[in-house]
Amino acid sequence: MAELRVLIVDDEEDFAATLAERMNGRGLIAETVSSGEEALIAVSRAVYDAVVLDLAMPGMDGIETLKRMLAIKPQLQVILLTGRGTIEKGIESIRSGAFEFLEKPIKFDTLLSKVNEAKSRAMALTEEKTKDMIEEMLRRWGC
Amino acid sequence: MEHNPADISPRPKNPTVGLPRYRRLRWNLIVIPSLAALVPLIIMAAINYRQDVAAYKSESRYAISRLLSNTRRSLQFALEERRAVLTLIAKNRSLEDLSNDARLMAILRDLKESFGDFVDLGLIDGAGVQSFYAGPYALKGANYKDQPWFHEVSLRGVYVSDVFQGLRKFPHFVIAIAREMKDGEYYVLRATIDTELLSRQIYALELIERADMFIINKDGVLQTRSAFHGEVLDSVALNIPPHILDREIIEEKDLPGGERMTMGFAAIAGSPFVLVALSVREASFTHWLYERSDVILFLIASVVVILVVVSFRSKHVISRLQESDSRRAKMLHNLEYTNKMATLGRLAAGVAHEVNNPLAIINEKAGLIKDIATHEGDFPKKDKIISLVDSITTSVDRCSRVTRRLLGFGRRMETRREQIDVKSLIDDVLDFQRTEAAHRNIRINVQSAPEVSPIQSDRGQLQQVFLNIISNAYAAVEDGGTIDVAISQLNSNEIAVTVTDDGVGIEPKDLQNIFEPFFSTKGEAGTGLGLSITKDIVEKLGGIIEVQSGIGKGTVFTVNMPVEKVD
């Protein structure tokens, strides 16, 4: 399996750094940014299999960041991870296109498995899209 | 710890606070309507009293006046008759004819036969000597020359005297007629008349009750016996109105002892007599009280009825007012309490949120230590360090459970209200959990009856309710199982949501405890708070939650929610 690229977005830099270090220790490639704005720049420059996004951040908040990220990369799999979780926020995130909504503190293994699920889903979606594209191309070419 | 708001129950403020206000209000409620009802009633009674008193007074005046004029007429007639007879005798008989004791005696006898009350008869010459006399007394030759009446009769021709005893020693009066001769000489025919004549005229008339009638002369000496004032010739302390002449005069006077005297005077023409009639009656007020007892009873009964009714009604009104005041105070208090709890809830949620972030850092740092320690080769006390880190992670877990509960508690303390479409709310909740459904290949069918009304409720709390119920259903079904959610309208103000799973079902002995706090069939995995919190929320939002289940039969949760919560 190819390397798993994860972007961690959290204004708690200490948390983000530690999480990234642990992920890197497990063989993932994790990068950190500390605001929504930086996250948008990051996702537009590189490809990530999953984004771990904090909900409550100064400036652009998690939901807003999520929406904008998806506007840039619709197939991006975003896991919201928050210490300020409420059901409403969770449902709002899911409706806005988040892959998962998780609450801090979280067991590292749970997070890892969600990241893996996100990657599988992204791959499935990509495959589907590729299939659609090929079918579309075949149809257009009249074969 | 979970705090059930019911444990810190609101204590309503003492509703009797402000009692003087109610007392004053009640007093007003009694006094004003009572006055409004009683004043016209009392005015009516007063008018009745005045009319009655006026009637009563005029009635006494009329009675006295009638008595006076009747008696006066008969007295005048009797006197006139006697005077006329004497005048007739004096005119028809010659002096010679009368100058004879025997003749006089014969005339006196005739008079006595006709009238009865003539006592004697005398003929007095111009010098005042009674030259002839017929009667029981030895008065022949008596000289009246110096007596005032003799002058009077010689001047006026007729004279009626006061009553007196005189020589005869019994009350009598005199009628004298003077006759002038052709030669300028005159003589006087003098008759003595028994006072009985006067008395008879008075007693012959029926006297009204508690009345007295008598004759006095102008000097206030009784001419007849009086029931109240004494015997003949006694003096009476009565003020005879001056100049009464031919008129009647009625006077009224209050007597000590609440009685009232009506007194009438009438002069008897051609005599010194004044007829007096008087009656004593109860004072008009006493009379009114007695005569108008029906009016008075009615008045008293009305007053009593009005006071009783007004007083009871006012008591009723005041107690209603007091009730509603205390209800309002309680509501305000509840509101205050709710606000306090909401503030407390926000505080709890805020604390939990703030704690979660450092907790996550601790968690990750500890995890990192463990990662490093695990991958590093052997070093002293490696196992000890790993176990220490594990216990940090366990404690973090415990803390995070606490913060989650605090968040849930905080959220439940504050109820917001908005219009909610239950179908889309449930779709959202299912969407939230779709990954689990997809993983485990669980089929979920949502069916909604057409036109289920939107409800007024708290979105987040309702989401929590269905999240808990659907999570339970997930936990209950096998992989590949089915969950059916049905939404229907029960009536205009109630909708129902049923969540049916084809899972393992619940044992009957567990079923009755399912909504108890800390009851769990999931062992370590459950907190045992999910369904008790769910029930708490549903009931706080005005709904009802029920469960039906049996081993192997699956489970049905039914939630009935009001379209609009009625407080």
Rounded to an integer, what is the distance from CA B134 to the centroid of its chain? 86
Q: Taking a C-beta distance cutoff of 8 angstroms, is the pair B118, B192 a contact?
A: yes
Q: Quick check: helix, strand or coil at residue B82?
A: helix
Dist CA B562 CA B567 (whole Å): 11
Domain boundaries, chain A: 5-140
Q: What average pLDDT does this structure show over B50-57? A: 84
CB-based burial label for B441 (10 Å; 0-12, 13-18, 19+): exposed
Nearest to B432 among A12, A86, A90 (CB): A90
Most B CBs within 10 Å, among A26, A81, A91, to test the B interface? A91
In CATH terms, the fold of domain A5-140 is Rossmann fold (3.40.50)
Q: Taking a C-beta distance cutoff of 8 angstroms, is the pair A80, A65 a contact?
A: no
Dist CA A22 CA B372 (whole Å): 9
Q: What average pLDDT does this structure show over B392-398? A: 92
| Numbered residues of chain B with Cβ closer than 8 Å to any chain A Cβ | 353-357, 359-365, 367-368, 371-372, 375, 396-397, 399-400, 404, 407, 411, 428-429, 431-432, 434-435, 459-460, 463-464, 467
Give pLDDT, residue B50: 87
Q: CA B58, B62, B67 angle in degrees (round to 5)?
A: 155
Q: What average pLDDT does this structure show over B293-314? A: 88
Cα separation values, B125 from B144, B192, B231, Å: 10, 17, 35
Confidence band for B529, pLDDT divided at 50, 70 and 90: low
Give pLDDT, residue B446: 92
What is the number of other CB atoms lying within 10 angstroms of the CB of residue B197?
A: 20
Query: Quick one: closest CA in A to B461, which residue?
Result: A87
Give pLDDT, residue B17: 47
Cα separation values, B24 from A28, B20, B27, B317, B384, Å: 83, 6, 5, 13, 81
What are phi and psi for residue B549, nearest 5 degrees?
A: -160, 165
Dist CA B453 CA B495 (whole Å): 8
What is the pTM for the complete model shown? 0.55
List, for residues B173-200, the tens digit of each pLDDT value. Answer: 889 988 887 777 888 888 988 888 888 8
Q: Does A101 touch chain B (CB under 8 A)?
A: yes
Beta pairing partners, B176: B159, B190
Q: Is the pLDDT confidence value at A79 over 90?
A: yes
Q: Does A11 touch chain B (CB under 8 A)?
A: no
What are phi and psi for residue B53, nearest 5 degrees?
A: -65, -45
Rounded to an integer, what is the distance from CA B4 to the centroid of its chain? 50
A7 min Cα distance to partner chain B (Å) = 16
Widest Cα–Cα separation across chain A = 57
Helix axis angle, B293-375 relative to A13-25, nearest 10°?
Answer: 40
Q: Taking a C-beta distance cutoff of 8 angstroms, is the pair B174, B148 a contact?
A: no
Cα separation values, B141 from B124, B131, B133, B174, Å: 9, 5, 8, 17
Q: Tell me if the bond preceding A105 is cis, omega within 30° of 0.
A: yes
Which position has the higher pLDDT, B245 or A135?
Answer: A135
> What tokens appear for B72 in the block?
């006066």
Average per-residue pLDDT in chain B? Answer: 83
In chain B, what are the domains? 19-291 (3.30.450.20), 315-413 (1.10.287.130), 415-562 (3.30.565.10)
What is the number of other CB atoms lying within 10 angstroms of the CB of residue B516?
A: 13
Q: Taking a C-beta distance cutoff of 8 angstroms, is the pair B380, B357 a contact?
A: no
Of B160, B122, B127, B117, whose CA–CA distance to B138 is shortest?
B122
What residues in B contact A104, CB-CB < 8 Å? 356-357, 359-360, 363, 400
Q: Is the pLDDT confidence value at B113 over 60?
A: yes
Which position has the higher pLDDT, B367 or B199?
Answer: B367
Cα separation values, B164 from B168, B172, B216, B232, Å: 9, 6, 12, 9
Q: What average pLDDT does this structure show over B438-450? A: 89
Q: Which residue has the tokens 């000289």?
A: B143
Dist CA A103 CA A89 (whole Å): 11
Q: Is the pLDDT confidence value at B13 over 50?
A: no
In this structure, which amino acid lies at residue B350? G
Q: Is the pLDDT confidence value at B403 over 50?
A: yes
Q: Quick check: helix, strand or coil at residue A3?
A: coil
Name the least confident of B21-35, B48-62, B220-234, B321-335.
B220-234
Which position has the higher pLDDT, B20 or A142?
Answer: B20
Give pLDDT, residue B567: 57
Q: What average pLDDT does this structure show over B277-292? A: 76
Give pLDDT, residue A72: 93
Q: Is the pLDDT confidence value at B532 over 70?
A: yes
A83 min Cα distance to partner chain B (Å) = 5
Dist CA B216 CA A63 (whole Å): 129
What residues in B contact A108, CB-CB < 8 Å? 363-364, 367
Confidence band for B2, pLDDT divided at 50, 70 and 90: very low
Dist CA A33 CA A7 (whole Å): 8
Dist CA A13 CA B361 (whole Å): 10
Dist CA B488 CA B419 (whole Å): 17
Cα separation values, B45 from A139, B56, B303, Å: 113, 16, 12
- Provide the pairing of β-strand B186-194 with B172-180: antiparallel
What residues in A contact B363, CB-CB < 8 Å? 104-106, 108
In this structure, which amino acid lies at residue B371? D
- Beta strands of B370-521 (E only): which ranges? 418-420, 443-448, 455-457, 482-491, 494-501
Cα separation values, B545 from B29, B75, B327, B461, B532, Å: 49, 114, 29, 14, 11
Q: Which residue has the tokens 């003929």?
A: B123
Which position has the higher pLDDT, B251 or A37?
Answer: A37
Confidence band for B466, pLDDT divided at 50, 70 and 90: very high
Q: Is the pLDDT confidence value at B7 over 80?
A: no
Query: Quick one: closest CA in B to A111, which residue?
Result: B364
Q: Is the pLDDT confidence value at B81 over 60?
A: yes
CB contact under 8 A, B464 and A91: no
Dist CA B485 CA A120 (whole Å): 30
Dist CA B264 CA B65 (whole Å): 7
Q: Which residue has the tokens 């007597």?
A: B255
Q: Is the pLDDT confidence value at B396 over 90?
A: yes
Dist CA B300 CA A58 (whole Å): 85
List, for residues B409-421, the tens digit of each pLDDT value. Answer: 777 777 788 899 9
List, for residues B126-176, the tens digit of each pLDDT value. Answer: 888 888 888 888 888 888 888 888 888 888 888 888 888 877 678 888 899
What residues in B contact A99, CB-CB < 8 Å? 435
Q: What average pLDDT does this structure show over B507-532? A: 70
DSSP string, A62-101: HHHHHHHHHHH-TT--EEEEESS--HHHHHHHHHTT-SEE
What residues in A contact B361, CB-CB < 8 Å? 12, 14-15, 18
Q: Is the pLDDT confidence value at B275 over 60?
A: yes
Q: Which residue has the tokens 């007020």?
A: B285
Give pLDDT, residue B342: 81
Task: Calculate what percentage of chain B has a pLDDT beyond 90.
Answer: 17
First to last CA, chain B: 28
List, for residues A13-58, the tens digit of each pLDDT value. Answer: 999 999 999 999 999 999 999 999 999 999 999 999 999 999 888 8
- Provide the pairing of β-strand A5-9 with A29-33: parallel
Give pLDDT, residue B209: 67
Q: Is the pLDDT confidence value at B348 over 90?
A: no
Give pLDDT, residue A18: 94
Helix (H) or strand (E) segment spanning residue B393: helix B382-412
DSSP string, B497-512: EEEEE-S----HHHHT
Name the least confident of B20-24, B236-240, B485-489.
B236-240
